[in-house]
Every structure is written in structure tokens, then in C-alpha cells.
Structure 1
Amino acid sequence: MKVEVVPHDLTWRGKFEDESKNVALTLGENVVAIHHIGSTAIPHIYAKPIIDLLVEVENIAKIDDCTLGMQGLGYEVMGEFGIPGRRFFRKNNKTGTRTHHIHTFTARSSEVERHLAFRDYMIAHPEDAQKYSELKRKLAKQYPNDIIGYMDGKDGFIKEMEKKALVWWTLDKSE
């Protein structure tokens, strides 16, 4: 998979909103909330132009009953895809370029908290967001055709920021 990071695009928010409406209709009353996560949700940083949606649901097992509906929206059904308790979907456009990821978890789970804390921390701390942006640009140049190398290169930074974000998130919520 080609690794490409691009400057923040103001249309990403609208693309998230459009897709979240379709996903909410397809997944139905089980949906608690849909959040825009990932780098496309963080203003002013470079990102792979893939919209990440985090869907919180009441009952994760009921998502398995929505496979045909998600396929009808153009999604590939990936199951847990390496994270227990998740349902993951990915979508490509007509040319085969990835456009969307959907991460579905039980509402208020630690995975939901981790993703939202990271996003909100990066938005509230633009200096760390810019460090992340620069790292992504460097890695995309270093691994232009190696998504695994790119992802591995970000791993340590993301884990460090997640720890900071969760402490910040907990303190912020208690105030």
C-alpha cells in the first residue's frame, strides 16, 4: 500500500459527517455515538487522507447482523482485525484507494476512551500534534511503499502520547 500524507483538508469534516449519517442509518438503534478520529480529525496536521470513524454501540455482537448493510455502503467486513471486541470495516473508492475506516466498539469502553483521549489531547496540544505531523511526513518519505514500516515508525510516539492523553483526559474529566 502506498503511504501518502497530505496537508489537512477542510473537506474531511464534511466527508466524516456525510459518511456518519449513512453508517448510523445502516447500524440503526444500536448506535450510541459516532466520532471523527484519527489524523483527519486533528486540525493543521498532515494525514493519510482516510476518514476514521469510531462508532460506539450498545451491543457489539449486533454489529455482525449488519454485514450486508455495511457491504451495501461499500465496506469490506474485517471482523475484530487484531483488536478483541472491535468490529472493523474499510472502504475504497472506485479506483481502489482507501477512503474510510470504521472502528466499532461497545460504548464507553477503554478503547473508545483511548481513541477520544488521543484525538482531544492532540487538538488541545498543537505542539505535540505538530511533532506527530512531522514524524508522519518523515516516515512517509522513508517508507513510501511500506505501510508496515510507516505504522511501526509511529508506534512509540503514539504510545507515549496515549499515556499523556489518558492522564490529561482523566484530569480534564474530573474538573
Structure 2
Amino acid sequence: MPSIYTFTEYSPDWPREFQREAARLRALWGDEVFAIHHVGSTSVPGLAAKPIIDLLPLVHNIERIDAFNDAMTAAGYKVWGEYGLPGRRYFTRDADGVRTHNIHTYAQNSPEALRHMAFPAYLRTHP
């Protein structure tokens, strides 16, 4: 069965929700985290979007993130591994069966990470 997505008007809660989720990831992964970026359509002020917060953690060593899979599961995340993109570690979090967060994790120097950051950057400069 295909997923049904709903789009909503921009919410000023989205940046705060990003900050809360980023803090959770930093608490779980500690010093492995280099930076965490808010990406995707919810990161663009004023843009209607699917109300799913996309996070882009950049880490020092992507392979070491696998050691946190049990902790991520215990914290309510679903662990997907690379999920079709070599070098990525993908996690999701749902609330009441509805997707709320996508976490696309890459090594800090990954070209794929730059692609994820380029999309919202373009939309912010080309409203």
C-alpha cells in the first residue's frame, strides 16, 4: 500500500523540534557527532511541507554509528542501515504510527551530505 503524505503550512515549531531531536542524538552518540543539520522542506521558513523533520548528522566515523543500533532502538528509532545509499546510516522515528523524523547520517566529508544540505539552501535563497 503506498504511503499517503499530507502537506501542512510552515510551522515555527519545526526548528524547535529539530533542536530537541538533535539534542537526543547528541546524547546518544556523544563525541561521534561532528555536526547536525536541519535539512529537507521543514528547514525552509515559510515553505509548506510534510510535517516530518529531516536531520542530517555528520559524524567522525560512519562505521562506529552501527555500535549504537541497540541504543537507537531502545530510544524509539527504527534502524534501517544504509537503506540503499552506501555510506549512509538511516534511522526513523514515528509517533502513534506516523513518521515524525528521518535521520540521514553520513561521515562529515560525504558528498551525499552536501547534496542533502544543498536542497534547503537553494530554496532559502530562491523563494
Instruction: Give the TM-score, by structure 1 length.
Output: 0.70
Aligned to 1:97: 98
Residue 118 (structure 1) shift: 1.6
1:118 corresponds to which letter in structure 2? F
Aligned to 1:9: 11
Query: Which structure: greater strand fraction?
Result: 2
2:12 corresponds to which letter in structure 1? L
Aligned to 2:32: 30
| Residue 69 (structure 2) pairs with residue 67 (structure 1) | yes
Give the Cα–Cα distance (whole angstroms) in 2 for the partners of residues 72 and 15 of structure 1. Answer: 20
State the Cα deviation string for residues 132-174 of structure 1 (Å, max 9, x = none): xxxxxxxxxxxxxxxxxxxxxxxxxxxxxxxxxxxxxxxxxxx
Within the candidate set 78, 81, 96, 1:79 is matched to: 81
Give the Cα–Cα distance (whole angstroms) in 2 for the partners of residues 14 and 69 of structure 1. Answer: 23
Query: Which structure: greater helix fraction?
Result: 1
Instruction: Give the TM-score, by structure 2 length.
Output: 0.95
Give the Cα–Cα distance (whole angstroms) in 1 for the partners of residues 16 and 29 of structure 2. Answer: 20
Give the Cα–Cα distance (whole angstroms) in 1 for the partners of residues 87 and 81 of structure 2. Answer: 9
Aligned to 1:107: 108
1:71 corresponds to which letter in structure 2? T
Aligned to 1:118: 119
* Structure 1: gaps (5+ residues): 127-175
The ranges of structure 1 where at least 4 consecutive aligned residues each deviate by more than 3 angstroms after the TM superposition are: none
Percent identity between matched residues is 43
